[in-house]
Structure 1
Amino acid sequence: MDQPLFVIRGMFAHSTIENPLIVLADHIIGVSNGKIVFFDQADQLDKHLQPFGGRSKVSLTELKRGQFVIPGFIDTHIHAPQYPNSGKGLDLGLLEWLEKYTFPTEAKFKDLEFAEHVYEKAVRRVLRNGTTTACYYGTIHTDACMKLCDIIDKYGQRAFVGKVNMNQNSPEYYIETAEESTSETERFVDSVLERKNQRIQPIITPRFAASCDDKLMNSLAKLAHDKGLHIQTHISETKDEVAWIGNLFPDHDHYVDVYDKAGLLSKRTVLAHGIYLTTEERKIVKDRECGISHCPNSNTSIRSGTCDVKQLLDEGIKVGLGTDCSGGYSTSMNDAMRCCLHVSNFHAIHTEKIHISHREAFMMATLGGAQVLDIADRIGNFEVGKAFDALVIDVTKEGSQIDIFENDTIDDILQKFIYLGNEHNFTRIYVDGADVLPMLLKGSQKS
């Protein structure tokens, strides 16, 4: 069914391949059937409206100073079942943290009532924070992962959802065999694909090399190849983890080689963290066109390390941002941008390297995330033909932590939003041209 054209006039900010941040003062965007049909200077409005019957036939929203539109945020790495642990359990390092906090929580998702309760809260919170696309890890439980898909669909978010695979070096109460893991993953994939929902896609999810043997990783790679699926996993998050992988896979050259020989690396592979990748490993990652999900909040909160994201970008590796709930204590991509800037500053202080700016952080939270997920042809900026996934921001709204002054430029206002913005600044959250915010607020009132 055709949807009527609507137009927004005002300030816009987005990224392109050539420029990490473009701020446009007086522009118009036209959206019909969820897609961007024009994006131009405001004085070209009447020209673009002629094919649609003129101004009387369209809905026109004019933004005031302090209001602007940006692409929807893209979280390239988040563990939905870990949401109950957000803000706690950060006293331990990664491997201890998994044993004490993470695995016991994830094991509870065998109970579908518990899963529904948690996922309802998690998806609402993530979407309310402006994340229009999320790349989720679930648990090993297929039916619980399908419940996560149900809730994502209910609230209109765009997402990749993965049934986690782990058949070794895992607790007895939370583990599967290679055969079970493969067959259940195939069941999950087929169940999601049968729904023919273009917004929600399955993603193959070996937790990390330590929890999957060669047999399982090989079978998952084959499944991904046969069905054209995305893949997500972890890599080089801590020094202890890297050493452990070296001991578990002594016949491989390094951590990246484990995944490469298993057939898990492609342009649709999302590698979370990548803090300790060597020069040789980074070259393979680039050559295979994999993407890195940089998770700065998590990396500092559980003291994993600080990723030199500037180096990754300079080497031409695709980089997006991830909140990595609950290693990261916040599901906010504003927080991810801020933490990314802080981590880059730490590197600049200690190495005298050039730090990234708010422009690169913004790009990684939007177009960079789309590139990592290999969907930059569909979302990530305001190019004509792409889906309209966008956030309407109001820094003057009640609850905002941002004050603007007469001498603040439009770039100043955007930079203030990156450093000070929160959910109170979002007045509309569009996914595929539909404003999902009213549904979120309605759900919040019921809970």
Structure 2
Amino acid sequence: MSGKQRVFIGDFVHCKTLDTLEILEDTAIFVDEEGVIVAIERGCDLKKAEEISIPRLGWVKEDVMVRVARKGQFFFPGFVDTHIHAPQYPNVGIFGKSTLLDWLTTYTFPMESSLKDLARARSVYTRCIKRTLSHGTTTAAYYATIHVATTNLLSDLCLANGQRAFVGRCCLDSLSPDWYIDESPAQAIKDTRATIEHIANIDPSNKLITPILTPRFAPGCSTELMTQLGALHKETNLPFQTHISENKGELDLVKELFPNSPNYTSVYDSHGLLTPKTILAHAIHLDESEVDLIIKRQSKVSHCPCSNSSITSGTCKVRWLLEKGVEVGLGTDVSGGYSPSILEAARQASLVSRHIAMSGDDKAKLSIEEVLYLATRGGANVVGLEQKIGGFEVGMEWDAQLIGLGPNYWSEDEGNPECVKALEGVEESPVDMFGWENWEERIAKWVFNGDDRNTLAVWVKGRLVHEIRK
């Protein structure tokens, strides 16, 4: 995919476990032509890499691209957005005082319906992809619209821009305006198959783009449609994404529409839609039995704290889910969420957990290490790519971002506070550094103060897909 061997030299930070960050200082990571990490060497500078390590790998120095991180910079794994609606991108930050069901009618369905137009869709999707890449999102699980042509266009644009993506045509045959609805379950399945076939044509091995079955949510899908999607899920073994237990009004609606099901989770389970490849967004109002069923079926949860707060859906008890054994990742849920940044989702996940703690459950608080894990390895687990992305290990693919914290100052002599030099970072940074911060403090300041100005470069599968040019 990348077509050239690469060496990255400097400091590397990644999550080893849910609560452990590993710092690899003065390290070199070697990436082959396919974007796969083939070697990691600590205590390796540019000279050693060129004179010893590169020849030892059988590579020719002149054919290898080398990127050396400067003082104040570090490499971090790419973020994984486990839940994002690409056609809603123009509406980021627009939600008024609405809650879920009226928000769909007022803002969402009109915007999604308008993206039947190819030119309009190209403009929206291109900007969405480029914006998420600029925030370090190397993998995204996208909801598209009900339209085949523009869903296919989203797949094309993700591939062209080098973003790893799961792209799903949205299925919706109930409780939607007559100007934005699948005409029948049979047509919904036919159109879904068309998008699956398109992705098979443009990326046969799913190196970057993977189709994902996408019913909007149970109230928007008839029993017949969900049954047929369950059969398609079983036939293709493709991943599956939907919403669950986002809003209390939604729960009441599910009870009304599916009176024979004991709860929301069982609705999906009874249609064959609760499997190890299922991503359930929100999962705010689940009861104990529902979580037990999710664990039994090995389904996953996308936590969307920005959206949950923005449209007043509720607070998801992430610590409870994790302790029960549920795999959890982060989602921006654009445009229920106001930001396309997973870094913003991570800080909001931390803050929401503190609100839960203020209700008397102090252990609910999520640490910096934990929210960064959810943003990387946790997200990789949710989308089924835990063997490929989420960390820096031999055999994993180089999905990474270069973070710069500067230009501020570092001290040459800690005993002389007047002896300082400018950090070589970004020209403008929202993160102020003073030189005495340790790694834990640097990472914390990035999480709570950083934004896309700190994301200097982004790679997916070894390919440079975004860079701030000076």
Q: What's the TM-score once normalised by structure 2's chain length?
A: 0.90
Asked whether the 8 Å contact 2:405–2:432 carries over to 1, the reply is: yes
Q: Does 1:154 align with 2:160?
A: yes
Equivalent residues of 1:9, 1:42 under 8 A apart: no
Q: Per the alignment, in what secondary structure is the counterpart of residue 82 of structure 1?
A: helix
Evaluate the alpha carbon distance shift between residue 441 and residue 110 of structure 1 in structure 2; reply closer, same or farther with a 3 A threshold. Answer: farther
Query: Contact 2:246–2:313 (CA<8 Å) still a contact in 1?
Result: yes
Determine the C-alpha separation between the residues in 2 that align with 1:90 and 1:377: 41
1:6 positional shift: 2.0
Report the counterpart of residue 451 of structure 2 in structure 1: 422
Matches within 5 A, 1:5-404: 5-17=5-17, 19-33=19-33, 34-43=35-44, 48-49=53-54, 50-52=56-58, 58-176=64-182, 177-195=184-202, 196=204, 197-354=206-363, 355-396=365-406, 397-404=426-433
Q: How far apart, CA to CA, are the structure 2 residues paired with 1:5 and 1:114? A: 38
Separation in structure 2 between the aligned mates of residue 230 and residue 282 of structure 1, nearest angstrom? 20
Q: Could you say if the C-alpha distance between residues 40 and 97 of structure 1 is closer, same or farther in structure 2, counting changes exceeding 3 Å?
A: same
Match in the other structure for 1:435: 464
SS at match of 2:359: helix
Q: CA deviation at 1:2?
A: 8.4
Change (3 A) 1:52 1:42: farther
Alignment check: 8 A CA contact 1:21 1:360 kept: no
Runs (5+) with no aligned partner, structure 2: 407-425
Structure-1 residue corresponding to 2:422: none
- Shift in Å, 1:123: 1.2
Instruction: After superposition, give the CA deviation of every residue in 1:92-131 in whole Å (9 maximum; x if it has no partner).
Output: 0110100111111111122112111211111111111111
The question of whether the paired residues in 2 share the 8 Å contact of 1:20 and 1:362 is answered with no
Q: Contact 1:138–1:164 (CA<8 Å) still a contact in 2?
A: yes
User: Offset of 1:166 from its aligned partner?
Assistant: 0.8
CA distance in 2: counterparts of 1:260 and 1:173, whole angstroms: 30
Aligned residues: 441
Structure 1 residue 19: deviation in Å?
Answer: 4.8
Q: Deviations over 1:62-105 (max 9, x none)?
A: 32331000100100000001011111123201101001111111
Cα 1:28–1:178 change in 2 (3 A) is: same
Q: CA deviation at 1:247?
A: 1.3
SS of match in other structure, 2:57: helix
Distance in 2 (alpha carbons) for counterparts of 1:161 and 1:60: 33
CA RMSD of aligned residues (A): 1.9
**Matched-pair contact (CA < 8 Å) for 1:66–1:413:** no
Give the secondary structure class of the aligned counterpart of 2:338: coil
Relative to structure 1, the CA distance from residue 109 to residue 53 in structure 2 (aligned partners, 3 Å threshold; closer, same or farther) is closer
1:25 CA displacement: 2.2
Bigger share in helix:
1
Deviations 1:198-224 (A, max 9, x none): 201110001000001111011111112
For 1:407 and 1:317, locate their aligned partners in 2 and report how far apart those are by CA, in whole Å: 38
Alpha-carbon offset, residue 264 of structure 1: 0.6
SS of the residue 1:329 aligns to: coil
The answer for the alignment partner of 2:414 in structure 1 is none
Cα distance change of structure 1 residues 408 and 170 upon mapping to structure 2, 3 Å threshold: same
Cα distance in structure 2, aligned partners of 1:310 and 1:373 = 20
> Counterpart amino acid of 1:214?
T
SS at match of 1:151: helix
* Higher gyration radius (CA): 2
Quick one: which amino acid aligns to residue 35 of structure 1?
Answer: V
C-alpha spacing 1:96/1:36, structure 2 compared with 1 (3 Å): same
Report the TM-score, using the length of structure 1 for normalisation: 0.95
Q: Percent of pairs identical after alignment?
A: 40
SS at match of 1:16: strand
Equivalent-residue separation in structure 2 for 1:62 and 1:213 (angstroms): 54
Name the counterpart of 1:445: none
